[in-house]
Each structure stands twice: as structure tokens, then as C-alpha cells.
Amino acid sequence: MMLMRIFKFVALLALLPLAASAAETRDAASFFNLNMGDLKTELADARQEGKKAVLLMFEQEGCPGCLYMKRNILNRKDVQDYYRANFASLSIDIWSSVPVRDFADREQTEKAFAQTLKVKGTPTFVFYDLSGREATRVLGTIETPDEFLLLGQFVASGAYKTRTFAQYKRDKPTLKGS
């Protein structure tokens, strides 16, 4: 009986480092800036705040990839902190009739805006440079927090100007600590 208790105690001690290294999480909604529906103003604010770009996540209700991103990537404190420091991040619903004023100051619905940009599926992540030009686009789920942080670094560093994200991933070492 005593030997069994000792074994359980040692097993519990062995698991403690895993629990301690688990990433801190928050509500995924904290990842996004409040979308006021005026992308031109969001861009100007991002410029004034010293951000590197504006990120739009195109999503839709019930999208499994969107849910995965929110439950496993966008809810992480390290991801939120990095993206908040470097980007204005906004959510766009590809079926929404909510009005949005685009970077060219044209008003349309979020749905029409997504169609204009030829968003083919969700989630789609589109980064815009501080001039309002599309910098890079990634369609689909990003599997790990490390890869999503690497995507942010790809844009923030300006690497998107000279290579694709696939090339950047191939050339960069894996991030540690997430």
C-alpha cells in the first residue's frame, strides 16, 4: 500500500513540469481589436501606433478551422501579446450584412467585401501593409501556435516582400517555448 502511494506521488511529480509549461490562455475574443467597421481608420490608427500591418481574419459561424484557431491558437496569451504589439487584428464574417468601409473608403457589407477580395474559404488570414496593400494571404487553419507566431514574424519583419511564407518557414528554425 505504501509503495503504491509513493509510486503515485512520483508519477505526479513527473507530470508537474508539463502542467507548468502549459501555455496561459485567454478568451479568443481578446485576440481581435474592436472592429468599428472602418478599415481605412483602422489602418491610420495602426500606422500611428507603430504597428507593422493590419490582419483580417475572414471567418464564418460553425467553421471547424475557425473554431480550432480560436480554441488552440488565438486564445494563447503569447500569441495575443505578439499580435497586439505588431498588428491591428480584425475579424470579418464572410456572410455578414454588417457594413464595413474598406481601405479605399468604399462602404459595403462584410460579405460583399469578402467576395470582392475573392476569399475562397475560412479561415483566411490577410495581412495588409501600412499603405493598405495586401502583404500576404494564408487560407486555412494554422496548425500550431509556433507556426502562427512565425507567420506574424514573416509579416512584421518584411520578409513577405522577398519570399513566400512557405520559403520563410523552410528557412527559419522552429520557435521555442510555445
Per-residue confidence in pLDDT tens, the chain, 178 aa: 544 444 444 344 444 444 434 578 888 888 998 888 999 999 999 999 999 999 999 999 999 999 999 999 999 999 999 999 999 999 999 999 999 999 999 999 999 999 999 999 999 999 999 999 999 999 999 999 999 999 999 999 999 999 999 999 998 765 555 4
Rounded Cα gap, residues 63 and 75, in angstroms: 16
What is the full DSSP assignment across 33-90? Answer: PP--SBHHHHHHHHHHTT-SEEEEEEE-TT-HHHHHHHHHTTTBHHHHHHHHHHEEEE
- Residue 36: per-residue pLDDT: 87
- Residue 3: per-residue pLDDT: 42
Residue 81 corresponds to which amino acid? D
Continuous segment of H or E residues that includes residue 29: none
3-state secondary structure of 11: helix
- Residue 78: per-residue pLDDT: 97
- Residue 120: per-residue pLDDT: 93
**N-to-C CA span, the chain:** 39
Task: Report whether 55 contacts 156 (CB < 8 A).
Answer: no
Task: Report whether 125 contacts 138 (CB < 8 A).
Answer: yes
3-state secondary structure of 1: coil
> Is this structure's pTM higher than 0.85?
no
Task: Report whether 148 contacts 73 (CB < 8 A).
Answer: yes
Beta bridge partners of 55: 89, 127
- Residue 121: per-residue pLDDT: 96
Rounded Cα gap, residues 55 and 129, in angstroms: 9
If one counts every other C-beta atom within 10 angstroms of the C-beta of residue 142, the result is 21
All three cell numbers of 131, joined, read: 499603405
Which domains does the chain show, CATH number per domain? 24-171 (3.40.30.10)
